Structure 1
Amino acid sequence: MRVDLHTHSSASDGTDTPADLVREAKAAGLDVVALTDHDATSGWAEAQEAADEVGITLVPGLEISTKLQHRGVHLLAYLPDPTYGPLVDVLGRILAGRSERTPAIVAALRAHGIDLTEDDVHREANGSVAAGRPHVADALVRLGVVADRTEAFATLLSPGQPGYVNRYAPQLEEMIPIVVAAGGVPVIAHPWGRRGGTVLTEEAFASLKGLGLAGIEVDHQDHGPELRTRLRAIAADLDLVATGSSDHHGLGKVDHDLGVNTTDPEQYERLVGMARQQA
């Protein structure tokens, strides 16, 4: 069984529609794929219809933007009830913050001498529930300002760069219990990529487990062999699920092909079992 538990569609910042993503997952030889768009569940229905058509198991999920000690941390939430009131409320606040930030980013980049408009960004965000930094990056690529999303983030859109603008994100310690109360299974995404290791220590993982954290995404392209070994040991010590995934974004990210990392079937069954117990 081949299981990929972290992918994105055009409902957030991927380039494939939810249905096309699922079909590509089947073509890539996956048996299970999770759709985990940023802060949004709007792609679930389309993805499920495609999964039923091609014969692949879909795990509905999302990747929630949170903060821990003023650092951004992404929380994967698998199989939550998308109608649970507190979850709906916080996702609405996150998406509103994302939408409100876009004009400020465009203004900052224009002040930096880049001839970018909000219309340029919204054209790239076609199908997404909210325009965000990846869509700004895509607009910059289309305008020839940068070569790809990686360069856009590295030189213009990350903290400390000319186009960075802060936005609302809930505290991780508050978000984990909300996911659990919604019947979902919370897993920290790529914890030691993007400087996350500075706050996500073993002690922090232990504390977060006490709040309901169920797992750690270990096998991810942001983690080299040494980091994966250390994270797997932490997961084992704390009895947390250890997952693996591609973090696929279609053409939005290179070297993140579907199935490039996968989750051990036993770990996947543990995760699904947790969701059943909380349902």
Structure 2
Amino acid sequence: MTEVDLHMHTTASDGMNRPSENVRMALEAGLSAIAITDHDTVAGYVEAAQAGQTLGITVVPGVEISTVAEGQDIHILGYYIDVNDERLLERLRQLRSTRENRNAMLLERLRELGLDITIEEVIEQAGKSASGDETIGRPHIASVLVSKGYVASVHEAFDRYLGKGGAAYVNPPRVSPFEAVDWIHEAGGAAVVAHPGLYQADELVERIVRHGADGIEAFHSDHTPEDESRYAEMAARLQVLVTAGSDFHGERNGHELHAPIGSRRIGAHVLEQLKARAK
């Protein structure tokens, strides 16, 4: 049975590898297909799809939309979206603008705490321009904290400053997960709740599914075996799809973020199921 990994990031958002490199690693991992699911952008898809054609790997067009509900970040994955849908592209541009505002608020908080970091340093660390279709996120800020010696690792940066409960954490208003599900459907795609085990909010996850989400990412590198069983059972009860993803970001400052490509995988039959669910 051929297998797929449906959650990974590239340099188009906060991943460390070019989209084409992700495809090459997928081939080496023995996968038949992957989805490129960068945060609030589809900028990495074309390069990945071209590499996929060369290497014989199916590349599913995808996105991971950042939302907020009940005071916490909730991520919604979109599969088989029309990456040229102008309404979706404009909505993603608006989300990236919100992300830029969040980054500015984070940096201001850090400076108030005595950690002097500028957006220019973050952009240089990220290796991308300050504008365009690519995103800059908290892992890029974490890398600067490490490089300037404020923390020893990206993990420590999130624990002490950037993650929920951290001293510099901010969470400005964003689109709701219910709206994100609708956006994905309106762009011709299937919507899946990403890594629900990270939220500790199963009632909310169930409400998102009942609103119209097409699946639950039960198998994720940050889930425990108990999480995976619970969400697979929830998906079966609610009659939606089960997906799997490594959430690969690559290695940053000597630490692997999440897990390698292919560390969470599922049978390729799920691709036809997602296509059938796509609106």
Tell whether the structures are fold-level matches, with TM greater than 0.5: yes
Instruction: Provide the residue aligned with 2:158 in structure 1.
Output: 153
State how far apart, in whole Å, the 2-side matches of 1:224 and 1:233 are.
14
Q: SS state of the match for residue 247, structure 2? A: coil
Q: SS state of the match for residue 90, structure 1? A: helix
State how far apart, in whole Å, the 1-side matches of 2:55 and 2:86 are.
33
Instruction: Provide the residue aligned with 1:139 in structure 2.
Output: 144
Q: Which moved more, 1:146-155 or 1:13-22?
A: 146-155
Instruction: Provide the residue aligned with 1:211 in structure 2.
Output: 211
Q: CA deviation at 1:46?
A: 0.8
Contact 1:102–1:133 (Cα < 8 Å) also in 2:
yes
Q: SS state of the match for residue 271, structure 1? A: helix
Q: Percent identity?
A: 37
Instruction: Provide the residue aligned with 1:75 in structure 2.
Output: 76
Q: How does 1:1-279 map to 2 (within 5 A)?
A: 1-127=2-128, 129-193=134-198, 196-198=199-201, 200-201=202-203, 204-252=204-252, 253-254=256-257, 256-275=259-278, 278=279
Structure 2 unaligned spans of 5+: none
Structure 1 unaligned spans of 5+: none
After superposition, the C-alpha distances for 1:40-83 in whole angstroms (9 at most, x for unaligned) are 00111111111111111101101000122222110000111133
Say if 1:144 and 1:205 are closer, same or farther in 2 by CA, change over 3 A. closer
Q: SS state of the match for residue 38, structure 1? A: coil
State how far apart, in whole Å, the 1-side matches of 2:249 and 2:54 are.
22
Say if 1:165 and 1:213 are closer, same or farther in 2 by CA, change over 3 A. same
Q: CA deviation at 1:189?
A: 0.4
Contact 1:244–1:264 (Cα < 8 Å) also in 2:
no
Q: SS state of the match for residue 259, structure 1? A: coil
Q: CA deviation at 1:17?
A: 0.8
Q: CA deviation at 1:206?
A: 4.7
State how far apart, in whole Å, the 1-side matches of 2:106 and 2:232 are.
38
Say if 1:115 and 1:68 are closer, same or farther in 2 by CA, change over 3 A. closer
State how far apart, in whole Å, the 2-side matches of 1:80 and 1:178 are.
10
Q: CA deviation at 1:255?
A: 5.0
Q: SS state of the match for residue 134, structure 1? A: helix
Q: CA deviation at 1:99?
A: 1.4
After superposition, the C-alpha distances for 1:173-232 in whole angstroms (9 at most, x for unaligned) are 112112111101100000111xx122x32xx44543343210000011221111111111
TM-score relative to the length of structure 1: 0.91
Q: How many residues are paired up?
A: 271
State how far apart, in whole Å, the 1-side matches of 2:265 and 2:81 are.
21
Amino acid at match of 2:125: E
Say if 1:174 and 1:151 are closer, same or farther in 2 by CA, change over 3 A. same
CA-based RMSD of the aligned residues comes to: 1.7
